[in-house]
Amino acid sequence: MSATIYDIAKEAGVSIATVSRVFNNNKNVSDKTRQKILSIAEVKGYHPRAFAQGLARRNTNIIMAIVPVISNYFFMEVLAGIQDKLSEYNYDLNIYNIKNNVDLLQQAEYVLRKGMGDGYLFISIHLGEIFWESLKRYDVPIILMDEYDSGFDSVSVDSIEGAYTATTYLIKHQNQRIAMLSALPQAKPTRDRVHGYKRAIEDAGYLVDEDLIVRGEDTNRDGFTEKAGHQAMMKLIQMNNPPDACFSASDIQAVGALKAMKDSNRYIPMISFDDIQISEYLGLSTMRQPMYEIGILAVEKLIKRINNPKAMISHTVFSPELIIRDSSELNVRHQIIE
């Protein structure tokens, strides 16, 4: 459970009334006592908005989903699973949209300090280990999705395995020079997928060519955008020695990459990652991750954590499934371009 006004008063050695006066900006408190109370509150992750909840120990019956963007097929499918599962419990879902151009930790702490929910689902929020550690002081139920830290329950997909499987398939189908459409390296899925891609290249007996690992200039959503995919594919197409095939870190990037191929009248066999709904209609070969099921399981973990804060931390990692469609096949290059 998060800190209460009682905890602040006890550690500061003052009355609850004194703590209340500090947070209500009452001047009848010495500067020394005021600073002491505010410092303790900062360390404990306590915010004055939680007064009524702290005094009465009432729940909000709200689950907060913290996401970098909601106008994205991946997040919409994950959120569908979250919403459907929450309907079985007495909780409402609120969504807090993190801004890419503002400090991520600062925004995350703002939500936690406000006491906006009984539990929090962090979806594709990629913080460093030190920053995740700093969030533990808020002592609230948190589930990480599409991310991992040993200090929190998590649900994710094995991106290393998925990238390895996709790249290996392309190699086995008479492709030797395999490129990768990457994204920004601060995102764990990006790092894992690059790792899986490289391992597949090496296991096949080839040297990894770093020049074939490209990404676009668009940095929105950690580089997982249609625009970034288009930009990256244009770089590959314009090479003096273009690759035989390509692995894309996400379906969203692959959508842009297909547009780049059509614009250039050049075709490169490609397998991507996610299997969002539009992938089937675009004929994208892809590594399917169970986005809807990830949302459901994350809610189940969060409810268990709320009901049993001292339970052992658990991590669930799904294995992705290779789905073969037109985009990876050499014999359909002309029909895709046309």
Report pLDDT digits (tens) over 222-234.
Answer: 889 999 999 999 9
Phi, psi of 294 (to 5 degrees): -60, -40
Mean pLDDT throughout 312-324? 96
Average pLDDT over residues 269-290: 95
Say whether both 81 and 17 belong to one domain. Answer: no
Q: Is residue 99 domain-shared with residue 10, that is, in the same domain?
A: no
Q: What is the pLDDT of residue 99?
A: 77
Number of domains into which the chain is organized: 3
Comparing 21-30, 113-122, 204-213, 291-300, the range with the smallest average pLDDT is: 21-30
Best CA proximity match to 187, nearest among 140, 137, 228: 228
pLDDT of residue 338: 40
Among 23, 38, 56, residue at a domain's last position = 56
Average pLDDT, the chain: 87
Does 163 lie in the same domain as 124? no
Q: Does 212 share its domain with 129?
A: no
pLDDT of residue 111: 87
> What pLDDT, on the 0 to 100 scale, is given for residue 188?
87
Give me the CATH number covering residue 72: 3.40.50.2300
Shared domain for 330 and 305, answered yes or no, is no
Reply yes or no on whether the pLDDT at 306 is more than 90.
Answer: yes
Tell whether 111 and 186 lie within a shared domain. Answer: no
SS (H, E, C) 200-238: HHHHCCCCCCHHHEECCCCCHHHHCCHHHHHHHHHHHHC
Q: Which residues are bridge partners to 116 per DSSP? A: none
Q: In what order do the strands lie in the sheet with 321-323?
A: 213-214, 178-181, 245-248, 270-274, 285-288, 321-323
Range of 117's domain? 62-156+291-318
Residue 337 has pLDDT above 60, yes or no: no
Lowest mean pLDDT among 109-113, 284-288, 306-310: 109-113
* Averaged pLDDT for residues 130-144: 90
154-181: per-residue pLDDT in tens? 999 999 999 999 999 999 997 889 999 9
Examine the domain organization and report whether 234 and 89 are in the same domain: no
Kindly report, residue by residue over 236-277, the tens digit of the pLDDT: 999 999 999 999 999 999 999 999 999 999 999 999 999 998
Tally of CB atoms within 10 A around 130: 8
Pick the residue with more confidence: 93 or 9? 93
pLDDT score at 222: 82
Per-residue model confidence (pLDDT) at position 213: 97
Q: Which residue has the tokens 């601060």?
A: 186
Residue 154 is predicted with a pLDDT of: 97
pLDDT at 174: 79
Distance (Å, rounded) from C-alpha 107 to C-alpha 314?
A: 25
* Same domain as 123, residue 48: no
Query: Within this chain, do residues 104 and 86 fall inside the same structural domain, yes or no?
Result: yes
Q: Are residues 133 and 240 in the same domain?
A: no
Check whether residue 144 and residue 104 sit in a common domain. Answer: yes
Residue with the two structure tokens 């410092």: 39
What CATH number is attached to the domain comprising 37? 1.10.260.40
Statement to judge: residues 163 and 284 lie in one domain? yes
